[in-house]
């Protein structure tokens, strides 16, 4: 049960009690999050209806809950569209939450996993499993996780100079990502034709052929990792004021920083393992969420919802934009994210001069 009260000293904030925890959240943040939930549900409803096998609202609802008389409708809704929708929202939420953690940790809007190389590193680990070692989804997930963590260790080791500087982290990350991108291309070029085709399709990021088994694993992982990320956002908010002040307030900075990196890398590695490297969602989702909520904190929850919405809408566009041809969702997010990145770089350049 969630209870809310208004704090007398701050009428724009509310206290929410959830499972014994007291959360103090801005009223606008709660309203924006509720709006994004409604938009996600609306987009999910649209995704259930659209496709080569068109359905009415009544037919889709009946098929979803197993009450329909059309076995073909039940198959498309329950086995094709529903797991794809669930996976898209979960992958987007993982990317959005990971982006919020790393952007706040680096104190830089460009410090997202895609820019600083963690997404590419996870992709490298997964490609090694696909092309060289072989194995099923579990092996690919392990490879993505190992690649993401190894890349994070390399980037942080190279960027650390008595402390973590956001600009240095981004520059080192871009360099490491470029090297790994070249390695990924080399792996694909040297692979067999069948393995190269599989790897190329996977690298574009796609929810095609999504199954409930994969979506279920993603659901379990997100259900474990996202609450941890939300818990870590509280000390991370204190760390935004500086390591010295955070230490004075009782935050064990280095331990918390390591925990944040581990959870953030696990989230992005999960997303890569499920759907491949989907570009720019981790970069754009936290920034868009902050602009809507007008809240300067970490904002893991809002970023996760924004990420889920972005990936779900992008997947709908990927399916229907050039129907019956289905584009990889990474093509849509990459195109939109590239425009956003140009705008963000121009904005940062204007602020710097």
Question: What one-character-per-residue DSSP string does 182-250 give?
Answer: HHHHHHHHHS-HHHHHHHHHHHT---TT--HHHHHHHHHHHHHHHHHHHHHHHHHHHHTT-HHHHHHTT
Euclidean distance between CA atoms 337 and 344, whole angstroms: 10
Question: 28-40, pLDDT tens digit by residue?
Answer: 888 899 999 999 9
Residues 6+ apart with CB under 8 A from 4: 14, 15, 16, 17
Residues 6+ apart with CB under 8 A from 217: 137, 141, 274
Please state whether the peptide bond connecting residue 324 to the residue before it is cis, i.e. omega within 30 degrees of 0.
yes
And the tokens for 245? 């002040």
Report yes or no: 312 and 85 within 8 Å, Cβ to Cβ: yes
Q: What is the mean pLDDT of each run of 10 residues along the chain (353 residues)?
A: 48 56 72 94 92 81 81 85 95 95 86 88 89 80 89 88 76 91 88 79 83 92 94 86 78 84 91 88 91 81 94 92 82 83 74 58
Would you state the pLDDT for residue 160? 81
In sequence order, what are the beta bridge partners of 7?
10
The Cβ of residue 298 has, within 10 Å, a number of other Cβ atoms equal to 27
pTM of the model: 0.87
Would you state the pLDDT for residue 7? 47
Task: Identify the DSSP state of 134.
Answer: -
And the tokens for 223? 């259900």
Euclidean distance between CA atoms 126 and 138, whole angstroms: 10
Residues 6+ apart with CB under 8 A from 312: 40, 43, 44, 47, 85, 88, 89, 92
Report yes or no: 330 and 277 within 8 Å, Cβ to Cβ: yes
Question: 241-300, pLDDT tens digit by residue?
Answer: 777 787 787 788 788 888 898 999 999 999 998 988 898 899 989 989 988 888 777 789
Would you state the pLDDT for residue 168? 83
Would you state the pLDDT for residue 21? 53
Would you state the pLDDT for residue 11? 54
CA-based nearest residue to 267, from 250, 254, 251, 285: 285
Residues 6+ apart with CB under 8 A from 294: 28
Report yes or no: 316 and 259 within 8 Å, Cβ to Cβ: no
The Cβ of residue 195 has, within 10 Å, a number of other Cβ atoms equal to 17
For 279-296, b where at least 16 C-beta lie within 10 A, e where not — what string?
Answer: bbbbbbbbbbbbebbebe
Task: Identify the DSSP state of 326.
Answer: P
Would you state the pLDDT for residue 323? 74
And the tokens for 15? 């206290």
CA-based nearest residue to 131, from 206, 180, 196: 196
Architecture of the domain made up of 22-33+84-342: Orthogonal Bundle (1.10)
For the chain, domain boundaries: 22-33+84-342
Question: 202-221, pLDDT tens digit by residue?
Answer: 788 888 888 899 999 999 99
Residues 6+ apart with CB under 8 A from 41: none
């Amino acid at each position: 049960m969630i209870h809310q009260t208004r704090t007398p000293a701050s009428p724009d904030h509310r206290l929410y009690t959830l499972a014994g925890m007291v959360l103090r959240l801005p009223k606008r943040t709660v309203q924006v999050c509720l709006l994004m939930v409604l938009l996600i549900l609306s987009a999910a409803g649209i995704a259930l209806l659209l496709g080569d096998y068109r359905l009415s609202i009544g037919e889709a609802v009946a098929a979803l809950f197993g009450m329909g008389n059309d076995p073909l409708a039940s198959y498309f809704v329950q086995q094709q569209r529903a797991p794809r929708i669930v996976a898209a929202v979960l992958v987007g939420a993982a990317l959005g939450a990971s982006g919020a953690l790393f952007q706040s940790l680096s104190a830089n809007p460009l410090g997202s996993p895609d820019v600083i190389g963690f997404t590419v590193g996870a992709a490298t680990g997964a490609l090694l499993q696909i092309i060289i070692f072989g194995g099923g989804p579990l092996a690919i997930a392990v490879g993505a996780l190992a690649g993401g963590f190894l890349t994070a260790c390399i980037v942080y080791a190279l960027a650390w100079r008595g402390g973590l500087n956001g600009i240095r982290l981004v520059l080192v990350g871009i360099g490491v990502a470029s090297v790994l991108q070249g390695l990924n291309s080399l792996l694909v070029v040297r692979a067999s034709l069948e393995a190269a085709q599989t790897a190329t399709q996977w690298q574009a990021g796609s929810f095609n052929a999504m199954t409930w088994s994969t979506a279920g694993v993603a659901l379990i992982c997100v259900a474990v990792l996202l609450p941890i990320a939300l818990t870590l956002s509280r000390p991370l908010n204190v760390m935004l004021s500086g390591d010295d002040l955070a230490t004075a307030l009782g935050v064990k900075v280095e331990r918390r920083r390591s925990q944040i990196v581990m959870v953030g890398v696990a989230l992005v590695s999960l997303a890569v393992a499920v759907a491949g490297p989907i570009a720019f969602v981790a970069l754009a989702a936290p920034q868009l969420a902050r602009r809507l909520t007008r809240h300067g904190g970490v904002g893991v929850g809002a970023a996760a919802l924004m990420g889920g919405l972005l990936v779900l809408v992008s997947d709908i566009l990927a399916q229907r934009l050039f129907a019956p041809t289905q584009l990889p969702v990474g093509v849509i997010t990459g195109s939109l994210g590239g425009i956003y990145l140009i705008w963000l770089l121009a904005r940062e350049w204007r602020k710097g001069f």
